[in-house]
Structure 1
Amino acid sequence: MTKQTGGCQCGAVRYRARGELGYPHICHCRMCQKAAGNYFLPLAAATRITFELTRGAPKWFQSSDLVRRGFCGDCGTPLFYDIPDADFINITLGSLDDPDAVRPVMQSSTGRKMSWFHAIDDLPVEPLPETPDRENAIAASNHQHPDHDTESWPLGERL
């Protein structure tokens, strides 16, 4: 059985979903843009019976009368789009430990899609990659939770 794990940037909130995620899509609506602090929000649904929080608890913002948004109260990572009466919860695909494993199959609310998205692949690429010294300095000072479950976080600390 497929298992997807994920969580926030700081590791305070972690989750697990067993089985395939349904309707992986990219939402361009203005609420999702604001919730993500980005141009769109990739989401996919996990049934409630296959979904569990494995560490911590999200904070919630009621973005409309129908929907609430779950996020980490410590680092602010957007994690969930939740319709409380539904039998599923939507997970933000960027919060997955392996976001490349779930490919969106649809777009929604394209009326709010950025008019210039078609030109992204034509943008120039920064010519110089990170230097090894800078990469090593970032790696040595990285406070981001790794992309896998840990017994405790920060490492060596019991939660």
Structure 2
Amino acid sequence: MHTGSCLCGAITFTVSAPLKAPDACHCGQCRKQSGHYWASTDVRRSDLAIEGEAHIRWYQSSPKVRRGFCDTCGSCLFWDPPHRDTTAIAMGAFDQPTDTHLHVHIFTADKGDYYDIADGLPQE
């Protein structure tokens, strides 16, 4: 079981399954939302319990995806494609230990020009 929250604690969540290896997304939308790249793990909705859902605000960032953040502290928490049975959760929102490690960098052609990816992981 893994737990986590937004910065102020208005939203907390529990994942009742082992976490999948996270990816790091370098697309322009993720960088603008998070302030850098977005590291997240996909969680089956049936394994996710959220407390404080009334504090989640959703932004429809594309026709297929909405992004969830806390209406009190602004923490970016969720990347949610309603057509799938999973929700991506920001790795930084989890309490440690997560028992995971990044496994891939995605949308690297869109990465910021102010950093290099030098960890040896696959890049897509």
TM over 0.5, shorter chain: yes
Q: Aligned residues: percent identity?
A: 32
- 1:16 and 1:6 mapped to 2: Cα distance? 7
Residue number in structure 2 paired with 1:85: 83
List alignment gaps of at least 5 residues for structure 1: 121-159
| Secondary structure at 1:118 match in 2 | coil
Counterpart amino acid of residue 66 in structure 1? K
Q: Is the 8 A contact 2:38 2:90 kept in 1?
A: yes
**Counterparts of 1:67 and 1:55, CA distance in 2:** 21
CA shift for structure 1 position 23: 4.5
Partner Cα separation in structure 2 for residue 118 and residue 28 of structure 1 = 11
Residue by residue over 1:68-95, the C-alpha shift from the partner in whole angstroms, topping out at 9 and shown as x without a partner, is: 0000000000000000121111000011
Give 1:45 deviation, angstroms: 0.6
Question: Which AA in structure 1 matches 2:60?
Answer: Q
Q: How far does residue 101 in structure 1 lie from its aligned partner after superposition?
A: 3.3
Q: Deviations over 1:33-54 (max 9, x none)?
A: 1111x12000101101100102
Aligned equivalent of 2:96: 98
Structure 2 length normalisation: TM-score? 0.85
- What's the RMSD between the two structures over aligned residues? 1.9
Answer yes or no: is the 8 Å Cα contact 2:24–2:38 preserved in 1.
Answer: yes
1:97 partner letter: D
Pair 1:51-2:14 in alignment? no
Larger radius of gyration: 1
- Tell me how many residue pairs correspond in the alignment: 117
* Structure in which a larger fraction of residues adopt helix: 1
Query: Distance between the aligned counterparts of 2:62 and 2:115, measured in 1?
Result: 27
Number of the residue aligned with 1:7: 5
- Contact kept? 1:26, 1:42, Cα under 8 Å: yes
> Structure 1 length as normaliser, TM-score?
0.68
Structure 1 stretches of 4+ moved >4 Å: none
User: Going by fraction, where is strand more abundant, 1 or 2?
Assistant: 2
In structure 2, runs of 5+ residues without a counterpart are 119-124
Instruction: For residue 22 of structure 1, give the secondary structure of its aligned residue in structure 2.
Output: coil
Match of 1:41 among 38, 43, 46: 38
8 Å CA contact retained: 1:93, 1:102: no
